[in-house]
Structure 1
Amino acid sequence: MIKGDGAQDAVDMLAEARSAQMLSEAESPGWIELVAPAKVNLVLNVGDRLDSGYHRVSTILHALNLHDTVFMRRTAAPEGSGLSVAAEVKGRGGVSVPEIASADNLAAKAVALLARAIGRAEDERVEIRIDKRIPAQAGLGGGSSDAAAALVGACRLWGVDPSSREVRDAACEVGSDVAFFLQGGCAAFAGKGDEFVRSLCASKRPVVLVKPERGVSTVRAYQAFDADPVPADGAVEAAFDEVGSADDVPLFNNLALASEGLEPELSAVRRWLEGRCGAGRALLCGSGSCTFALCESFDEAVAVSVEARKHGWWSRATSLGSLKAAVVR
């Protein structure tokens, strides 16, 4: 949210300075750097509720060029102390970061799960620093992407094959979207959203993201959906099975009405975006609270983003892309 008062500007500058200091420290020898992209669901088709409590899902996800940056290193620990994982997160570009314990961070959980899966118990400390530009509770998959990047980073530090079964199992245990970020680009997933089906040709189309301050509980959104489910039509099901390019996928999210019913501002954001980018070009990201819109040009995406911020909404111009969780340095 854009603030005009000097006090808020000072707070923002202090946060940027602290994050820049963390970035500088993480560029010292011994650290590796990874990219962790955001995502949108071009298609989210929620089906029946399973006995496990999850829902059957068919979805087409697409990576964005908006991304977090993850830094990792391992250092020796006192003899007999075993392996420990610590995560530190700093917000960038106006993104606020919730206060959570390091052990509850998805990236730290992912590394700990992989260590147990491969039987690694050396006396060492794995440090994770996340430079965060993807907002939380937005439906953009930031936490899941950080977890995927942490798994890839741990593989590099430990000499593990990132395509191994242990890595895939750890990804699925952390969360349903984590497996996608190991794949990247554009891909169809089924099951709980964690079973890879096929890849699609990725798009480079410009996108604008708009997120109001209030969010929606994912649990409440699914409860509202169960009370009044919205079935997918034949075109959406055909796209999931047959369409080969992201540019040809019809946008669809049958969870959106449930979320918009819980938080009316989401509906207002979608209508506002459709008024600027065209009918049928805006869609809620998962259960929200971010909505994305496809744009004809990056200049249009930037112009819409600037206007959105004047309404007090968080917004970014970016584009669809082929990124995945990966080591870059």
Structure 2
Amino acid sequence: MTENAQRNREAEVNLLAAAREAQWSAAAFMGPNTMKLVSPAKVNLLLAIGARREDGYHDADTIMHALALHDTLYLCAEDISADELAKRTAEGASREDVAVGGPADNLVMTIDLADRTGQDLAVPAADNLAFKAADRLSRAVGRDLPEAIQLRIEKHIPAQGGLGGGSSNAAAVLVGLAKAWGLAADDERVADVARSLGADVAFFLHGGCALLGGVGEVLQRRLETSRRSVVLVKPAEGVCTAEAYKRFDAAPRPVPQDVLVCDLAATRADDVVLANNLAPAAEALLPELPSIREWLAEQAGSESVLLSGSGSATFALVDTFAGASRIATAATAHGWWARPTSLSGLRAAVVPGR
């Protein structure tokens, strides 16, 4: 194939993909039994990393707060024949959007990832935390009959931002499959799988605002949520969480004791003093982050600005959504990804009415 022919072919494929997106609907592409799920982002109002434990994890106290910014998921689970399972498994062997799991390799999952972040996000289905959630839950409840799961993820939460997008997607899949499989909303197996996938996944089953302990996965108590406006700013690059922790271990900086005591006693999100002792280590790995923090501090005040988790998204609490929108527009002019949003009581959930 000549170079021109290759370019024409790629253009044709792109046009077909654009046309498909323009006409996409859950009923038309996934069937009438498709459920719609909401999958919110989060920020850490407090992240107090403690000592490294023998298992390699760190003790952590964190206060997470859900955001109005969210991904939208569509999920359809259906029983299929053994022959159909074999056919789909064979067809999916050479496709990155298909993964096989379940207690008897009986679950075949197709993930349609529709990126809305502008960062050309692409994750093979087998590596997607949403697939791992489905795989582990099917094993936990012993679903060994042939099953096909279709999942579409419309991504608005950028990856590698410390905003929990992948974890939230996984929590939403757990909630959706629990409903599809007739599991009780408080089935402990769902919570166990969530905790096994990570602290953020466990949080998104509750959403809102919560204080968590352990390694960040044990719910201590819920806090009264806030509705304050938020602006998120993120550079193109992400931060390697493992490297951030490695740098932290080399020179740990505890959260000031007075701040920690205040935050651990807080009952309202609005009373939490922003703190993140992992931020210096993360910022040292990506020098653009201090510039973003300093720029945001000029817009919103230094006490209202914090890196979320290990980054690379920095957020600022502001008084009005108009103010958040103004800052986001200015940040975009600097070449950064930015979004205005607000703190929210959302959790990973099935959207009613479907």
Band of TM-score, shorter chain = over 0.9
Aligned to 2:205, what secondary structure does the other structure show?
helix
8 A Cα contact 1:85 1:112, kept in partner: no
| Structure 2: distance between partners of 1:31 and 1:127 | 9
The whole-number CA distance in structure 2 between the counterparts of 1:117 and 1:93 is 33
Per-residue CA shift, 1:67-96, capped at 9, x if unaligned? 000110012322264332232211115243
Which residue of the partner structure matches residue 77 of structure 2? 74
Q: Which amino acid aligns with 1:121?
A: D
- Of stretches 177-186 and 73-82 in structure 1, the one that deviates more from structure 2 is 73-82
1:278 Cα deviation (Å)? Answer: 1.1
Deviation at 1:17, TM superposition (A): 5.5
Amino acid in the other structure paired with 2:264: D
Q: Which of residues 178, 203, 212 in structure 2 aligns to 1:180?
A: 203
Mapped to 2, the partners of 1:211 and 1:15 lie a distance apart of: 28
Match of residue 62 from structure 1: 65
Q: Give 1:280 deviation, angstroms.
A: 1.2
Quote how far apart the aligned CAs of 1:165 are.
1.1
Q: Summarize the alignment of residues 121-136 of structure 1 with structure 2, pairs less than 5 Å apart.
A: 121-136=144-159
Distance apart, 1:164 and its partner CA: 1.2
Q: Contact between 1:114 and 1:151, CA under 8 Å: does it hold in 2?
A: yes
Aligned: 1:50 with 2:53? yes
Gaps of 5+ in 1: 1-10
Task: Tell me whether 1:277 sits opposite 2:295 in the alignment.
Answer: no
Kindly indicate whether residue 289 of structure 2 is the aligned counterpart of residue 266 of structure 1.
Answer: yes
Give the deviation of 1:241 after TM superposition: 2.6
Give the count of matched residue pairs.
318
Secondary structure at the residue paired with 1:183?
coil
Return structure 1 stretches of 4+ with deviation > 3 angstroms: 11-28
Change (3 A) 1:121 1:69: same
Residues 18 and 209 from structure 1, CA distance in 2 versus in 1: closer, same or farther, beyond 3 angstroms? farther
Q: Which amino acid aligns with 1:92?
A: R
TM score, norm. by length of structure 2: 0.86
Partner of 2:257: 234
Which has more radius of gyration? 2
Instruction: Name the CA distance, whole Å, in 2 between partners of 1:13 and 1:269.
Output: 36
Q: In 1, Cα distance between the equivalents of 2:18 and 2:319?
A: 32
- Aligned CA distance change for structure 1 residues 12 and 266 (closer, same or farther; 3 Å): farther
What residue ranges of structure 2 are gaps of 5+ in the alignment? 1-12, 86-105
Map of 2:334 onto structure 1: 311
The letter of the residue matching 2:111 is A
1:261 maps to amino acid = A
SS in 2 for 1:177: helix
Q: Give distance in 2, aligned partners of 1:196 and 1:223.
A: 26
* Distance in 2 separating the partners of 1:132 and 1:30: 22
Tell me the equivalent position of 1:8: none
What is the rounded CA distance, in whole Å, between the counterparts of 1:27 and 1:77 in structure 2? 15
Structure 2 CA distance, aligned partners of 1:122 and 1:54?
36
8 A contact 2:117–2:158 mirrored in 1: no
Q: Which residue of 1 aligns with 2:42?
A: 39
- In structure 2, what is the equivalent of residue 7 of structure 1? none
CA contact (8 A) 1:95 1:133 kept: no
CA RMSD of aligned residues (A): 1.9
CA gap 1:115/1:241 in 2 versus in 1, 3 angstroms: same
Q: CA deviation at 1:193?
A: 0.8
User: Separation in 2 of the partners of 1:317 and 1:14?
Assistant: 32
Name the SS for the 1:280 alignment partner: helix
Go from structure 1 to structure 2 and tell me whether the alpha carbon gap of 1:238 and 1:205 turns closer, same or farther (over 3 Å shift): same
Taking the TM superposition and a 5 Å limit, the aligned residue runs for 1:136-155 are: 136-155=159-178
What is the CA-CA distance between 1:215 and the residue it aligns to?
1.7
Equivalence map 1:91-102=2 (5 Å): 91-98=115-122, 100-102=123-125
Percent identity over paired residues? 48
For the structure 1 residues 285 and 238, does the alpha-carbon distance in structure 2 shift closer, same or farther, using more than 3 Å as the test?
same
